[in-house]
Every structure is written in structure tokens, then in C-alpha cells.
Amino acid sequence: MPEAAPRRFCFVHAADLHLDTPFDGVHAAAPRIAAALREASLQAFDEVVELARRRSAAFLLVAGDVYDGAERGLRAQLRFRDGLARLAADGIESFVVHGNHDPVETGWSAVRAWPEGVKVFGTRSPEVVPVARDGEVIATVQGISYARRATTENLALRFCRPEGPGLHVGLLHCNVAGAGEGHDNYSPCSLDDLRRARLDYWALGHVHSGGILAEGSGPGDPWVVYPGNTQARSGRRSERGPKGAVVVHVEDGRVLRVEQVACDRVRFVELECPVEGLEGLDGLEQLLDRLADEALEQAEGRSLVLRARLAGRGPLHDALRRTGAVEELLEHLREGASDQEPFLWWDEIADRSLPPQDLGLLRGRGDFASDLLSLSDELKSDRASLASVADELVRSVPRYLARDLEELLADGEQLAGLLALGTLAALDELAGGEP
Amino acid sequence: MRISGWRVDGFGVLADQRVEELPAGLTVVVGPNEAGKSTLLDFLRGVLFGFPDRRHRRPYHEPLRGGSHGGTVSLLDASGGGWLLERHVGGGPPALSGPDGALRGEAELRRLLGGVDGEVFRSVYAFGLSELSSLETLERDEVRDLIFSAGILGAGRSATRAQHSLASRQAALVRPRRSDAVANLLRRRLDAVDGELRRLREEARRFPERAEECEGLAARVREEEDTAEELRQRLRELDRLEAAWPDWCERRSAEAELAALAAPDPAEATLLARSAEIAALRDRRAGFEEWARQRDDLARQLDGIQQRVEDALRELGPGARAEVVRHLDLGIATTERAERLSRRHGELLAELRSKEEVADRDSAEVGRLEGALSAQEKAAGRVRSKADLDAAGELLHEARRLLDRREELEQDRARAEQQARLEALASRRAGVRLAGSWALAALLVASALLAGGAALSVTGGHGATAALFAAAALVVSAVAVASAAQGRLKDRARGAGPEVPEEGDGAQLRQVEARLAELARSFRRPGRLERGDLDPIGRALDSEVASRLALDDLARRLADARRRREESLALADRCRDQLAENDRAAATLGSELLLPPSLGPDSLGRAVDLLARLRKDLDALDRVGQALSKVDARLESYAHSALSLASALAPAGLEGGSFVLGRQDESEPLGTGSVGPAAAGSVGTGSAAGTERKATAPEQALVAVGHLLERLEATASAREARGRLEDAARRARDAVDRALGGGSCTGRLLAELASGDPVAWQAERRMLADRLGEVKQRHDEATRAHERSSQALGQLLGSTRLAELELEGESLRAELRAALERYAVLGIARTLLERTLARYERERQPEVVRRAAELFASATRGRYVRLVSRPDADGRSHGIDAIDEWGARVDAGSLSRGTAEQLYLCLRLALATAGGAGVELPLVLDDVLVNFDPDRAAAVAEVIADVARQRQVLAFTCHPHVAELLSDASPKARVLELPGTSRAR
């Protein structure tokens, strides 16, 4: 008997589409840029769909957070439906679970009926759906959606390996311990919890930075994969770098390898820009231009949203202190940047530069400035006093701004950072205010 | 820092004034009023911190004595470095040069001046009596900071100013009660965006309901459209009913009139049913009359032809019969043949006559010539023949030549008889050979020329050339013959005269003589022939030759005439034969055509032509007869039709028919006379027949047709009247149908018309219009609602507004967050400054106040022993109280003017000397002691002297005793006089 040819197929695993995401924290952009940003998440999803079609994937997995919010924009829903319909037309099945951003019970649906070949998992218990090719079951997919946003139950515990041939895949939106920082701890679980289900591949969503938490070897030792989100949503650390989906290659019911494919359209880049040695704003602008060009070259043809963080100590601090100096620089950079595809949008310049003087020396001078630094140090170490300063600030603003300011100052680290900036601002003012 | 000197270029009354090397301690500047002390104070303030401009309340000090408006102040820093500060009004920024002579910027100047601004310098360091007399200048925040927080000097601007700056920047970001700050605006915009977003999201969530609502509205629109259509349909029906009403009434009237008419007679119906036939008869009547006229014409033609036939038969003779002629072959060949024979007969006859005339003329000519010849022969006698005459002429010619020779020989005989004889002999021999040779050559040439001429003739060469060749050949031949003849003659001469020696002239002469003798005999001249004998012989010969030529000419002409006569006679005979032949052929044709034999050939053509015409007339007779028969048939047919129809349609009283069908008399020709009305009038229905003659069938037919037409017209009139009514009824019916528009509802509408009530219809119309208006309004509302819904649905589906707003919201949120961050940073900075300042005031204030208290105690000689600050609710000090020697607390405002001035002076001195940052600025005091009593003045002078030990003091006064007090208190003090005219010492 000749040996049977290996049974090979691949599937695409994506998560956290956040369709129609408004791009958290992006400053007002030029109309063309704004339009590109609006389309970015949708185009990224389209690219995922095309990826599955190009690779003739057996199926597509979407591990939660299809939409950015419970509101589930109509445009996003229809675009998602249309994408899955294209896949269905090609005979590619789709499996979808909802996550904390688009829980089932709080959301609404503009889609009356999904195309045939699309399975949206419910919230009660993981449903098991076999996937067959040429009459042979090649995989079974089971998944469960969030009913509500704050789903703190460890849903992974509800999964177990069913009887049946092929690759066993679990589809879940969850927060695996240690997988990523800065993510809400919804459906928390551990790798052991996942292993206990004895599946072959865990298709997870939630952690935007993505990552392969475990490279499995078989039942009880599954692959645990976060593909990351398909399109970055903000300038946060977890949102930087290429974004997309993974193509999982399977042979005879075993995962051979996981291939990461970028599908994004716009990338967020934060440029660290030291000001030491820089004398004037012209030099700073040239430096930023150069850094931007380098970033654009490395962006694989994607457009960039740039944020610059000016750090270090130097005489440039005085020039940056001038009211409107940073804003003018930002505007100048925007005017000089390309608005052609791929475009480059200067979103923000964060001035964290320090004056040339050493604060340690100021502290030892025994004058008003040294007293001011002492007081700042005291506040920094006395969170209660610092909180009272924050309270005073909140009380000083109109009621309709109080909540915004309160939210801003609620984060201790954020407040400490503001204290440091405030100390510098006070010293700058004592030093003569506007240069 | 202290002032080491100055140079006033021009400032008020001061001009080109220079002071140098001022000491570090006290300098007393003395001068009378208007010497320029206060001007100097303003000069120093101005150079160090800037001159006021013209708009300022402070003195401008325009140079009164020339010089550039401004000057230079020399400074020494703490380390002894010399600085030069030059400033002029309108001269731009000050020029500061450092110890190394290099120019420095304003930042360096600010540092050199310890961060003190002009106001602080004016309030604390360089003041006059006016500033001193009031606490106002010390109540400025900046000064108060200095008083209570001296330690900040040297660190930059005052904390209060820094606070103000921060507050100002904060206010640009957030305002508590106004909404024009950045964050306020952003929040409001964000609220608006969020509100719009909520609305749009809510709208988006209603997408399914919207879709359903849109469908419902569309259904409602259709429903209202249907209702409106029903109402409009009923309105249209009413329109139709009202439009049809007049026609309906007309129809009803017409139908009533029709009903009132008598029922039509069946006979009329029959008549009308056959009206087409009657009309056809009427239409054919004109043709009928034309046929009758044609018939008359044909009858006349027939008569004429008949007459011509009879005439022709008569002309052809008694044997000629028409039946025979009909069967003769009178084709074209026959007629042409007859015509040709007849014509040939004439031609031959004419030719014969002509030939006979010629023959007669030729016979006459022969007779005439024979007569003439005979007469000529008689007249000429015997005349030799032409050959004889030619030979006689030859002989005469020879005789003349021989006579010439005889004379030559006789002349030469005597001169060289012997010699000549020998030479003559040699010459004869050679001549014979040469003549033979020449003759042969000439014959060869002649042969050649003849051959060439023949060749040319054969090859078609030029005739003239050939003739030329022939002529040349003849000439050459002649030459050859001549040569040969000469040779022969010489030989003959030699042979003929054997007695004449060949080689001598004598022989020749004898031969000549012999020949001449022969010739004389032939001339019938006896003796020796002489030259004179020859002329008569010649003349006779010429005459005879002339006769001979005339006779020969007549003979030739006679021969010619005889030949022509024979030819003419032969031609006449041949022509006669031909004529006979032609006449036989004509006779044969005549017998073939059965013509009488007596008919000559010359009449054959005429007879055949007559036969042909006869044949044509016979054919025409047949043709016309046939045409006449046809016309008769037509006339008969028409008459038959008319009479049959008249008989069939005869009224009941005439049934059975009075018309006679068929021809009355078959033998009577049809159309004997005009068939017009007159004739027709004489015939009728038969009752009048027999009065003159019986009417012919055509005439009866015409009458019958007239009757039929009359009846038909009457019937048609009745029928037309009925038809008009029927038409009116039909038109009305059609109009009603048109007005009702046809369709399924027509029956119902007709029923409504039958029971019609226009008034009720109008009432219904008004009611329907009202209802239609209501329905239309509902329809419009539903349509608008549907459009709105559809538009909203379309916008929902195609709009990017939600995404735009979300992006805009996030952008605004980011901006708001950034603005609030900046606001928080500035607020924290401000809080830090405020708290640091409060702490500073609490912890460091006693230093300044204690120092001021010490100075004030000294200045008041112990009257006041202490000063205390007066704190406000915010924990910061806002006032000073003095504690007198008895412990009483006195508010500064309650002190006497002089004491208050002493307090303020002490506060300023303490402030100026209590700095923590080591910044020292010179004190410039302008007559501050004038309001003090002598004791207090002396005490204050001591205080000033004491201060001057720590820092530079420039004390201006116009009072010499004050100068003395100061000098006494500070013996090292330098005194400068400002007399206005004297220069400083």
C-alpha cells in the first residue's frame, strides 16, 4: 500500500479587529489623513479576508472584539458581513466570537442573517463545529462569546476536547496571565487552564501586542497564540509595530508553524528624540525629519502616525518653553510631511526636556528655587498631599471639565509625571518665564 | 554691583556731564534746585532699566542743552569687573560691554542687575521723596515679595509674577466662569460631538426599525396613492358624465325624432339597394350618348367606303369583283413587283428613245463627213501618201546636205587633195571601227537604259523616270543607229562608188554628185541639182503634205463617226430587247392579277395600286362594320340593362314593364338620328308611342334611366333625412362614448347618464375634491416621511459621519486631555510657587523685617523698637505694624508723615541689604531727609551711612546741611556738587 499523502491545510487567525476604531488619542488630522485613519481598520479587515482567500485557507477565526464598542457602528457591521460573505462565496468558513468590546448582550446587530458558512458562537457554552474538506473532517472549532463586557469568569475552563479527528481549535477572547500589560483582566486564565482542555490550538484574542505564548506539541500541549490586533488603534506601546493576523499551517492534524502576516494600513511610531547638543529648533526639526524618514523606510509601505518625545537636558529647553513653540514646530513638521500614500502624520510632540541647570545644584542653593524643589519632592513622596493638590485643581475648573481633569489626575503615575512637569514649569517661570 | 560713574550726553538740563570713579560707599550729590539731581536719578534709572517714552507719565527729560538723549553708566560687578552700559532714547537696545570689552546681551544685563526689574529698582533702590512718602509702591506684589521673600532675588523674576504668568497661561487653557478658554471650548465641542455621536449611534441602532419603517411608509404612500387614484378616477368619471351630458341630450332628441318618422317603403329599399346600378346607368349615360354618336360616324364611314369600292370595281373593269380582289395576293412583293415592272417599262422606253436618237445623230454625222471627204479629195487632186511625202522630205533634206558637202569637198579638193586623201583614208578606216564601236556601245547603253526603265516600271517606280530612261534609250539608240548608219553610209558610199577611191575627196565628191543626180531624178529635175532647185521642191512638198494631213483628218473623223453609229445602233437594239422582256413580265403579272390583257405595262402599277386601295377599302369596310356592330351591341346592352332595371324597379302600377327590350326592328339601323333629349322626349313609357314613330330601345332606355334617377333622388332625399337624424343620433352616441372614454365602466356611466343629475354630480365633485385634497395631503406627508426615512436609511448605510465624528471626538478628547494636562502642569507649578512663597514668607520674613526694625529703631532713636508683619487669611503677610517703645502696635498708615517716611526708608534699606542671593544694587536716594526733623535727620543719616558701609549709596540733596549730616555720618563719603555750571569734583 502506498503511503497516504499528508493532509495539509491552513487557516487564518485574527482578533481584535476593532472595526471603525476612532483611533484613541489621535489629534486633529488633515481631512485626507482623517479619512485614511477612518478607513484603516476596515481596510485591515479586508486585507485579512484577502489573505484567507489568497492562501485558500480552510477557515477564518476571529477571536473577539470585532467592533470597537458596544455601539458596533453600522458601517463596521456591514463591512464585516460583506467580508465574511466574500469568504463564504469562496467556500471559506468563518468562526467568530465576541469579546469585551462587543459583548453579545449589550451590542446590537444590523445583520439579520449571516452568510452561510459563518458561525458566530453564542455565550452559553462552547459550541463545537466540525470543518470538513472533501468529506473529511479536518478540524473542529469550538468557541464562546462574551455576554457582557465585564466577563471575569475563566471561560477557558468550559472548553474540553471532543471526540473526533482533525485539529481541535479553541476560540476565545481572554487574558492569559502574563500575556500582556495594560489589558483589562477579562476572562482571566492561565496557560495551565488552557492546556487542561487538551486542545491543539488556542486561537485567542484580547492582547493587542500579540504573541505566541506556547508552541504546542500535541494534546495537552497546545499552541497558544495571540495574533494581536489587525490595526493599531493608538500610540500606546502595545499598539506599536506591525499589526495583522497569523496564518496557521497544519499537516495531519498538527500545527506545523504559525506565520505572522501584517495587514495593517497605518502604524504608530513614537520617536525618542534627545535634545542634548541641540541649539535651536531648526536643528530639532531636521533631527525629527530624519528620524521620521527612517521610520517610514522601515514601515513596509504603511502610513505612519508619529509622536515625538523630546527628552534630555539642554539649552533647547528654553526655546521649547516659549508659548506655542512646540505647536509651531508640530505644524511645521506637518506641513513638510508627505500626505501621499503612504502618508506621514505628525500627531504630537511631547516636550520632556529639562533645563541645562542641574536640579541637584539648585536644591543645594538654599534659595526660593531650592525651597520649591524641596516642596516638590515632599509632594512626590506624599501621595495624599499630591492628591489634595489634584483635588484643588479639579475644584478650580468648571464642573463640566472637572470629570475630565479628575480622570486625568486619578492615575498616580500620571499625576507624578505632571508634578515633575509642574516643578519644571515653576522653575522655568522663576528663571524668567518666557525666554 | 555698583555704579562707578556716568556720562550724560544729554538729558534734561544735563549735558555732557561725566562722573568717574565713584566710591563703593556713600556719595553725596549736592546741588541747588534745578541743578538736575532728580534728572540725574531718572537718568540712572533710565540707563539701567530703560527710558520712559513720551506717552509715559514720567518725565521725558528731553535734552535742553544739546547732546544725544541718554548716556552711559559705568558699573563694577562683585568681582571688580568693569561694565559699561550705554542707552539712548530711541537708540534701540542698550549696549552692554563686559570687562573684556565684548558686547553682551540683555540676559547678561538682567543677571548683572540681579533679576530686578525697573519697577522694583524704582520702588526699592532708587527713589525720591515722592516714592518715599507713600507705601503704595511698596504694596506692589513684586515689592512685597521682595520685602517678605528677599531670598528670591537673584533667582529670576518674583514668585508672584511667576504665579501671575502661570495663572495667565492657565486662564488661556481653562476658565472657571467663561467659556472662551481652550479646554472650555474643547469640552463644549466634545459635548456637541458626543451628543451628535449619541444621536447617530442611536440612529444606527434603529437601522432595522428604520428599514421596516421605511418599508411601511412606502406602503402607506402607495395606499394613499391608490385612494387618491380612486378619487381622481371618480372625478374623471364626473368629468366625463358632464362632458357627455349635452351629447346625451342631443342623442335622446335625435332618437325621438327618428322614432316619429314613418317606416321606410320596402320598394324604396329595393330601389336604394340597386341605387348603385342606377348610378352606374347614370354614369354610363354620357357614354351611351357618345356611342350613339360614334355609331352615326361609323355608318357614314361605311357609306363612303362602299362608294369607293364600287368606283374601284368599275374602274377595274366588268370582270373585277370584290370577292376576287379579297383573295388576290396584293402583298408588298406583288405591288412592288408591279410597280417595278411598270416603272422599268417607262425607263426602258425612254432609254430606247434616247438610244435611237443617238443612233440617228451618229448616222447624220457619218453622212456629213463622207460628203466633206469626198469634196476635199476632189479639191486636192492626187496626193501622195504620207510615207511618200516623208520620203520625199528626206530626200530633199539629203539633197541639201549633199549640196553642202559637195561645196565643202570642192573647196578642200584644191588645198590638200593628196594629203587629204591619205588622211581621209586613215580617217575612214578608224572612223568605221570607231563608228562600229560607238554604235555597239550606244546600243549597250540603250539596252541598259531600257532595262533600267523596265525595271522601274516593273517595281512601280516613278513613271516619269521610266519615261526618261526610255527617252534616253531612244536617243542613244538613235545615236547608235546614226553611227551605224553613218558607218554604213560611208561603207555604202565606198561600196556604191567603186570608181571613187575611198581615200580621196574626189571620190567623195563623185559619190555626192552621183547621189545628187539620183535625187534630181527623183525630183524630176533635169541636170545637175543646184541649191536653187530645192526651194520650189520644198514648197511643193509642204503644200502636198498639208493636203495630205487634211485628208487624213477627215478620213479619221469619218471612221470615228461610223464606229459610233454602229455602237448606237447596237445599244438601241439591246434596249429594245429589254423592253420587250419587261413587257412580257408585266403581261404575266397582269394575268396573275386577273387584269384585262388590254391593260398595258404602263398601267399595271396604277391597276395594282387601285387593287390595293380597293383591298384596303374592303378591309375598312369590314372593320367599320365590326365597329358598328360593337357599338350597336353596347347600345343594346345599355338599353337592355336600363330597361331591365326599370322594369324590375317599376312601381306597383307599372309592374309587368312597358319597356320593350331588344331592338324594335332588327333591320333598322341603330342610332338613326341623335339620341338626345328631344328624341328621348318623344319616347316614354310606351303610352305615347306611335304618335310619330316608335321610340328606339336606346331612347326608351334613356327615358327609363331618367325615371329611375328621379325616383332614386326622391327616395334618397327621404333616406337622407332619416340618415341625418340617424347620424345626429350616432354622432351624439359617439360623442357620448368618447366623453365616457370607453372601458369597463362605460355601461355604468351610461346608466348614470340615463338617470343623470348634473346638480348631484357637481355636489359630488365638490365632495370628492375635498377628499382628494385630504388624501393628497396625507400622501404628501407620507411621501415626505418616506423620503426622510429613505434618506436617513441611505445616510445610515452610506454615511461615514459616525466614523468622522468618532475620529473628531477622539481628536478633541486628545486635545482636551493635552490642554488639561497643560493646565494641571501649570496649576501644579502655581501651587508649588504659592506654597513655597508662603513657606518662604513664614520662615524667612523675620530677617527682612527684623533688619528694617533695627534700622527704624535707630532712625527714630528708639521711639519704635520693632516691626511686625500682618498676615491675612491665606497665611501670607500683607502689611506692617510698628511697635513703639511702650509696646503699642501702630499701623503704618497711622504714623506721622515723617515717621512713616522713615519706616518706608528703613524697609527699603533693609530690603536692599537683606538679599540672600548676594545681589547688591546701589541705593540712590533723592532728598529723602527733607521732611525729617534735625534729630531724626541726623539719625537717618547715620543709618544711611551704616547701610553705605555695606553697599553703595548715592544720596542727592539740595540742602547743604543734609550733605553735612551725611558727610558727618560717613566721613569717607564723596561729595559731588551739581551747581549746574560747575563740574563735579
Q: Tens of pLDDT along B194-237?
A: 898 888 888 787 787 887 888 889 999 999 999 999 998 888 88
Q: How far apart are CA B404 and CA B512, in angstroms?
A: 10
What is the pLDDT averaged over residues B916-937? Answer: 81
Q: Return the amino acid letter for B914.
A: A
- Where would I find the beta strands (DSSP E) of A59-180? 59-63, 93-97, 118-120, 127-133, 136-143, 167-173, 175-176
DSSP bridge pairs for B884: B864
Whether residues A426 and B166 touch (CB distance < 8 A) is answered with yes
Tell me whether B154 touches chain A (CB under 8 Å): yes
Q: Is residue B416 domain-shared with residue B458, that is, in the same domain?
A: yes
Residue B681's pLDDT is 38
Cα A177 from Cα A16, distance rounded (Å):
18
Average pLDDT of every residue of chain B: 79
Look at A372 and B810 and tell me if their CB atoms are within 8 Å. no
Q: How far apart are CA B293 and CA B281, in angstroms?
A: 18
Q: What does the pLDDT average to over A281-287?
A: 89
Q: Chain A within 8 Å of B804 (Cβ-Cβ)?
A: yes
Q: Are residues B378 and B432 in the same domain?
A: yes
* CB-closest option in A35, A38, A368 to B152: A368
Indicate the number of domains in chain B.
2
Q: What is the pLDDT of residue B526?
A: 80
Domain annotation covers residue A393: yes
Looking at chain B, the whole-number percentage of residues with pLDDT higher than 70 is 81
A31 in contact with chain B, both atoms CB, cutoff 8 A: no
Better pLDDT: B28 or B982 = B28
Q: Which residues 95-124 of B have a C-beta within 8 angstroms of A? A: 110, 115
Residues B478 and B452 in one domain: yes
- Give the domain-ending residue among A237, A262, A287: A262
Q: What is the mean pLDDT of residues B628-655?
A: 78
Which domain does B529 fall in, by range?
370-569
Residue B839, chain A, CB below 8 Å: the answer is: yes
pLDDT at B468 > cutoff 60: no
CB contact under 8 A, A393 and B207: no
Residue B40 reports pLDDT greater than 50: yes
Bridge partners (DSSP) listed for residue A97:
A63
Kindly report the backbone phi and psi dihedral angles of residue B975, in degrees, each rounded to the nearest multiple of 5, phi listed first.
-110, 130
A379 close to B (CB below 8 A)? yes
Q: How many CB atoms lie within 10 A of CB A434?
A: 12
Q: Do B824 and A423 touch (CB under 8 A)?
A: no
Question: Predicted confidence band at B4 (pLDDT cuts at 50, 70, 90)?
Answer: very high
Residues B542 and B504 in one domain: yes
Q: Tell me the per-residue pLDDT of A313-335, one tens digit each, with 9 for 90 and over.
A: 888 888 887 778 888 999 999 88
SS3 B441: helix
Q: Do A430 and B162 touch (CB under 8 A)?
A: yes
- Set of chain B residues whose Cβ sits within 8 Å of the Cβ of A27: 811, 814-815, 818
Q: What is the pLDDT of residue B534?
A: 84
Residue A129 lies in a domain: yes
Asked if A408 has any chain B CB less than 8 Å from its own CB, the reply is: yes
Q: Bigger pLDDT: B158 or B273?
A: B273
Which neighbouring-strand residues pair with A171?
Answer: A143, A203
pLDDT, residue B149, reads 46
In a domain, A361, yes or no: no
d(CA B292, CA B133): 163
Mutate to test the interface with B, among A394, A429, A434 (most CBs of B within 10 A): A429
Within-domain flag for A286: yes
A279 and A152 within one domain: no
pLDDT tens string B237-272: 888 888 888 888 888 888 888 888 777 777 777 887
For residue B826, list chain A residues with Cβ-Cβ distance below 8 A.
Answer: 422, 425
A19: three-class secondary structure by DSSP: strand
Least confident of B297-306, B473-482, B489-498: B489-498
Q: Does B979 map to a domain? A: no
Chain B residues close to A429, C-beta within 8 Å: 156-157, 162-163, 165-166, 829, 833
Last residue of a domain, one of A335, A356, A377: A356
pLDDT tier, B427 (very low <50, low <70, confident <90, very high otherwise):
low
Verify that A194 and A328 share a domain, yes or no: no
Model pLDDT for residues B675-729, shown as the tens digit of each residue: 433 333 333 344 444 445 566 777 788 888 888 888 888 787 877 888 888 888 8
- For the purposes of burial, counting CB atoms within 10 Å of the CB of A34, is it exposed (0-12), middle (13-18) or buried (19 or more)? buried
Distance in angstroms (rounded) separating the CA atoms of residues A375 and A363: 11
What tens digit of pLDDT does each residue of A55-76 get? 999 999 999 999 887 777 788 8
Nearest CB neighbour to A75, from listed B177, B803, B815 = B803
SS3 of A325-362: the string is HHHHHHHHHHHHCCCCCCCEEEEEEEEEEECCCCHHHH
- pLDDT given at position B118: 78
> Would you say residue B655 has pLDDT above 80?
no
Strands A244-251 and A223-226: unpaired
Question: How many domains does chain A fold into?
Answer: 3
Residue A258 and residue A323 in one domain: no
CB proximity list for A40: less than 8 A, separation 6 or greater = A23, A231, A264, A265, A266
Indicate whether A415 belongs to any domain: yes
Mean pLDDT lowest for which of A230-239, B48-57, B555-564?
B48-57
Clarify whether residues B374 and B510 are in a common domain.
yes
Domain match, B475 and B504 both? yes
Is it the case that residue B626 has pLDDT exceeding 60?
Answer: yes
Considering the domain architecture, whether residues B409 and B451 belong to the same structural domain is answered as yes
Amino acid at B865: V
Same domain, A81 and A165: yes
- The pLDDT score that the predictor gives to residue B733 is 86
The whole-angstrom distance between residue B382's C-alpha and the CA centroid of its chain comes to 119
Average pLDDT over residues B650-670: 48
Please report whether residue B919 resides in a domain. Answer: no
CATH label of the domain that carries residue A223: 3.60.21.10
Q: Does the CB of B811 have a partner CB in chain A at under 8 Å?
A: yes
**Residues B494, B594: one domain?**
no
* Mean per-residue pLDDT over chain A, rounded: 88
Give the ipTM.
0.81
Q: CA of B870, closest CA in chain A: separation in Å?
A: 22
A 288-327 residues inside an 8 A Cβ radius of B: 323
Closest residue of chain A to B836, computed from CA coordinates:
A372
Residues of A in contact with B797 (CB under 8 A): 74, 78
B849 within domain boundaries: no
- Based on the fold, state whether residues A207 and A80 are members of the same structural domain: yes
Give the pLDDT score at A288. Answer: 92
Cα B490 to Cα B508: distance, rounded to the nearest angstrom:
9
- Choose the final residue of a domain: A298, A329, A356: A356
Is the pLDDT confidence value at A263 over 90? yes
> Is A24 in Cβ contact with B818 (below 8 Å)?
no
Residues B574 and B597 in one domain: yes
Q: Is A212 on the interface with B (CB under 8 A)?
A: no
Give yes or no for B792 touching A (CB within 8 A). Answer: no
Residues A120 and A147 in one domain: yes
Q: Cell numbers 355609331 label which residue?
A: B295
Continuous segment of H or E residues that includes residue A254: strand A254-262
Q: Is the peptide bond before B934 cis (omega within 30 degrees of 0)?
A: no
Clarify whether residues B440 and B585 are in a common domain. no
Q: Which of A359, A399, A401 to mutate to test the interface with B (most CBs of B within 10 A)?
A: A401
pLDDT of residue B430: 58
CA pair distance A108, A94, nearest whole angstrom: 20
| Residue B750, pLDDT above cutoff 60 | yes
Is residue B465 a part of any domain in this protein?
Answer: yes
Could you say which of A73, A348, A432 has the minimum Cβ distance to residue B156?
A432
> Looking at chain B, which residue has its C-alpha nearest residue A434?
B165
**Which residues of A fall within a CB distance of 8 Å from B169?**
323
Structure confidence at residue B983 (pLDDT): 41
Identify the residue with better confidence: B78 or A206.
A206
Residues of chain B found within 8 Å of residue A78, distances taken between Cβ atoms:
797
- For an interface test with B, the pick among A106, A395, A430, A434 (most B C-beta atoms closer than 10 Å) comes out as A430
- CA of B881, closest CA in chain A: separation in Å? 25
Within 8 A of B183 by CB-CB distance, chain A residues are 397, 401, 404
Measure CB to CB from residue A430 to each of B156, B809, B813 and give the nearest one.
Answer: B156
Same domain (yes/no): A198, A294 = no
- B/e letters for B73-99, b = 16+ CB within 10 Å, e = fewer, are bbbbeeeeeebbbbbbbeeeebebeee
Does B488 lie in the same domain as B603? no
Asked if B295 and B632 count as a contact pair (C-beta separation under 8 A), the reply is: yes
Q: What is the mean pLDDT of residues B518-537?
A: 83
The verdict on B191 touching A (C-beta cutoff 8 Å) is yes
Greatest Cα pair distance, chain B, in angstroms, is 243
Q: Flag if B828 and A425 touch (Cβ within 8 Å).
A: yes
Specify the pLDDT at position B684: 39
Residue A195 Cα, gap to closest chain B Cα (Å): 40
Q: Does A376 lie in the same domain as A333?
A: no
Beta-carbon pairs below 8 A across chains A and B:
198
Q: How confident is the model at residue A256 (pLDDT cuts 50, 70, 90)?
A: very high
Measured between beta carbons, the chain A residues lying within 8 angstroms of B166 are 425-426, 429
Contact B155 A25 (CB under 8 A): no
Is the CB of A404 less than 8 angstroms away from the CB of B817?
yes
Please check the confidence at residue B133 and state whether its pLDDT lies above 70.
no
Tell me the three cell numbers of residue A186.
Answer: 477579562
pLDDT greater than 80 at residue A100: yes
Task: Report CA torsion sign: B267, B273, B279, B284.
Answer: negative
Take residue A123 and report the three cell numbers written for it: 455565550
- Model confidence band, residue B458 (pLDDT cutoffs 50, 70, 90): very low
Q: Are residues A258 and A142 in the same domain?
A: yes
CA gap B857, B318 in Å, rounded: 207
pLDDT of residue B141: 58
Query: Lowest-confidence range among A35-44, A198-207, B471-480?
Result: B471-480
pLDDT value for B467: 53
Say whether B835 and A375 touch across the interface (CB within 8 A): yes
Same-domain status, A120 and A213: yes
Q: Length of chain A in residues, anyone?
A: 435
For B79-111, how does the pLDDT look when each residue is reduced to its tens digit (9 = 90+)? 889 999 999 988 888 999 999 988 888 878 887
Q: Cβ separation of A426 and B115 shorter than 8 Å? A: no
Among candidates A59, A71, A13, which has minimal Cα distance to A229?
Answer: A13
Question: A40-54, A140-154, B33-47, B264-278: which range is least confident on average?
Answer: B264-278
Residue A183: its pLDDT value, please?
Answer: 76
The amino acid present at A148, given as its one-letter code, is: R
Q: Is residue A19 part of a domain?
A: yes
- Among B618, B634, B652, residue at a domain's last position: B618
Let me know if residue A154 belongs to a domain.
yes
Q: Is there a single domain that holds both residue A333 and residue A390?
A: no
A296 lies in which domain range? Answer: 266-356
Contact A75 B802 (CB under 8 A): yes
Strands B70-76 and B2-11: antiparallel
Same domain, B564 and B576: no
C-alpha dist (Å) from residue A415 to A119, A368, A381, A421, B524: 46, 24, 12, 10, 200
Comparing CB atoms, the residue among A389, A400, A430 nearest residue B831 is A389
For residues A225 and B441, the model is more confident at A225
Whether B826 and chain A come into contact, CB under 8 Å, resolves to yes
Domain annotation covers residue B799: no
- Least Cα distance to B143 among B161, B163, B165, B129 occurs for B161
Task: Tell me the C-alpha distance between A415 and B827, whole Å.
Answer: 12
DSSP B414: H
Q: Do A74 and A16 have their domain in common? A: yes
State whether A401 and B808 contact (CB < 8 Å): no
Residue B881: CB atoms within 10 A of its CB come to 16
**Residue B182, min C-alpha distance to chain A (Å):** 11
3-state secondary structure of A134: coil
Residues of B in contact with A395 (CB under 8 A): none
Crossing angle of helices B182-205 and B801-859, in 10° steps, is 160
Percent of chain B at pLDDT exceeding 90: 10
Q: Give me the pLDDT at residue B692, please.
A: 52
A112 touches chain B (CB under 8 A): yes
Contact yes or no for A396 and B827 at CB 8 A: yes
